[in-house]
Structure 1
Amino acid sequence: MSIKVKLIEYTPNPEKVIASAAKLCYSAVGIDEIQENLEDEKTAKFLNMLMSYGHESPIEHVSFTFAIEGVSRSLTHQLVRHRIASFSQQSQRYVRLDQFKYIVPPEIENNEEAKKIFIEAMNKDQEAYDKLTEILKSKYLKDGMKKLQAEKKAIEDARYVFPNACETKIIVTMNARSLMNFFKHRCCNRAQWEIRSLAEEMLKQVKQVAPILFKYAGPSCVNDKCPEGKMTCGKMQEIREKYLNLK
């Protein structure tokens, strides 16, 4: 299944908020007067200057919330390493998965023999989950538990057989500075393919609502030399052009 990303909420007028916050640092007047003079053209000009200086603390004042589906637990294990963020993920402890969905890596999808082995493994995991759930549920019912409580406690342990490929859903909120850092690491060609696909789609969507703010967002090589040393993909110019023109 394919990744589904939706920007469901963000700080209204994010670029004006950032410009106001940054201007306040250097202004003798109050916020009302600053905002009265912040026309769209002035906001754009100031924000471009701000981003070129690398003055990043004002961009923490705006945040973006994404609803994400069709991703694996393998991806979310990487995603939650970005600690300056808020996460709400579908629980395998409370949600019984009678037929769990899973993510098939492209290299396996395109190899008939590998795909056959992979799908067989997924089917066995589901079978084991179902059997474990019923065995444990039956035991808890005999112990006097109510039906709903018995099932919840059963799937709590049965879920341990699920693979990293298991599909999950998650809502993520990050401020703009954290997002910039996320894009820097996860849009890189050396990032794992699935989280790179997610990062690219998230970047496309925030560029629609804050084009100046995210004008130079992407992997490190968009604004500077590649930091990967001998591990570089060697495609810096190609990658830079891709992200500068990303829509």
Structure 2
Amino acid sequence: MDVKLLAHTRLSDEFYQSAVNGSTYEEDATDGQFVALSAIRTCYSHNKPSEIVDLEGERYFGKMATDGEGGTDAHRLFRHIVNSGHTSTLEHITFTFSIEGVSRSLLAQLTRHRHFSYSVQSQRFVRLETDSKSGGFDYITPRIYGDEAERFNEMMKQAQDNYDELRRLGVPAEDARFVLPNAAACNLVLTGNLRSILEFYGKRSAKQAQWEIRELAEQMKAVIVRVEPWTEAFFKTN
């Protein structure tokens, strides 16, 4: 499994120049935090959304948190919002991932999370014959070892042989794929907002979650925290 961040919420040049550039806290806050502050304070402030960072930024990013839990007063505000359940304001912060080399079994679990957007490698249009450009279908091996793993690999080879035979007989790929297993690997692009990702992590990082999707949850968290470090405190297992 390989998870890469393709894109995430960034400020427009116009907003950056009008509200952020030259501020005393510019280097200490992230684009995601500026968006979060704008969304949260819009609900409670008489100021316009486009003016909030400019008019209120110093108050939140330029002062220490008053709740004694560290960080700036913006961190206090974000903690308050999450703890109060007003997390719809975090939906304005989005992340787009490249997720490579996961099983169709994982995909079936992943698509139960309805607030994500998906673009998935097609078994209908991507040729998976042994003699094709792909060299046959890749597959994910579960956590089995020794004789069990060897037998599993034999079963995957048989599935490939069955697929190849159907294609030789003229069966369309969209029908030949019916013999491919849940272990068959796929690649996808996934986009989600911060609220939906935190909810996903809470459910899928739990010990009772299946190992592959648990690994995905941890990798998604790791790449988000690298670009928006302030979010780490909100990744909690249910």
What TM-score results when the alignment is normalised by the length of structure 1?
A: 0.77
Q: Deviations over 1:177-210 (max 9, x none)?
A: 1111100110001000000000011011111122
Matched, 1:100 2:137: yes
In structure 2, how many angstroms separate the alpha carbons of the residues matched to 1:218 and 1:202? 13
Shift of residue 104 of structure 1? 0.5
Q: Would you say the 8 A contact 2:4–2:98 is kept in 1?
A: yes
Q: Which residue of 2 aligns with 1:178?
A: 196
Q: Secondary structure, in 3 states, of the residue corresponding to 1:213? A: helix
In structure 1, how many angstroms separate the alpha carbons of the residues matched to 2:177 and 2:114? 25
Give 1:40-51 correspondences, 5 Å limit.
Answer: 40=61, 41-51=72-82
Q: Which residue of 2 aligns with 1:195?
A: 213
Q: Deviations over 1:133-179 (max 9, x none)?
A: 01016xxxxxxxxxxxxxxxx11111111000001001111111111
Aligned match for 1:90, one of 121, 141, 147? 121
In structure 2, how many angstroms separate the alpha carbons of the residues matched to 1:27 and 1:216? 24
Query: One-letter code of the match for 2:98?
Result: A
Q: Which residue of 1 aligns with 2:48?
A: 30
Q: Secondary structure, in 3 states, of the residue corresponding to 1:136? A: coil
Give 1:204-223 correspondences, 5 Å limit.
Answer: 204-220=222-238
Give 1:118-137 correspondences, 5 Å limit.
Answer: 118-136=152-170
Shift of residue 42 of structure 1? 4.7
For structure 2, the residue ranges without an aligned partner over 5 or more in a row are 11-30, 62-71, 130-135
Q: CA RMSD in A?
A: 1.4
Q: Which residue of 2 aligns with 1:242?
A: none
Query: One-letter code of the match for 2:206?
Result: C
Shift of residue 31 of structure 1? 2.3
Number of residues of Structure 1 aligned to a counterpart in Structure 2: 199
Q: Secondary structure, in 3 states, of the residue corresponding to 1:207? A: helix
Give 1:224-235 correspondences, 5 Å limit.
Answer: none
Q: Secondary structure, in 3 states, of the residue corresponding to 2:127? A: coil
Q: Would you say the 8 A contact 1:64–1:175 is kept in 2?
A: yes
Q: Deviations over 1:190-233 (max 9, x none)?
A: 0000000000110111111222234121312xxxxxxxxxxxxx
Report percent identity of matched pairs.
Answer: 41
Q: Which residue of 2 aligns with 1:10?
A: 8
Q: Secondary structure, in 3 states, of the residue corresponding to 1:69? A: strand
In structure 1, how many angstroms separate the alpha carbons of the residues matched to 2:38 and 2:9? 13
Q: Would you say the 8 A contact 1:103–1:166 is kept in 2?
A: yes
Q: Would you say the 8 A contact 1:128–1:161 is kept in 2?
A: yes
Query: One-letter code of the match for 1:101?
Result: D
For structure 1, the residue ranges without an aligned partner over 5 or more in a row are 138-153, 221-247
Query: One-letter code of the match for 2:138?
Result: K
Shift of residue 53 of structure 1? 2.7
Aligned match for 1:65, one of 81, 85, 96? 96
In structure 2, how many angstroms separate the alpha carbons of the residues matched to 1:83 and 1:49? 26
Aligned match for 2:150, one of 98, 102, 116? 116
Query: One-letter code of the match for 1:52?
Result: N
Q: Would you say the 8 A contact 1:188–1:218 is kept in 2?
A: no
In structure 1, how many angstroms separate the alpha carbons of the residues matched to 2:170 and 2:84? 60
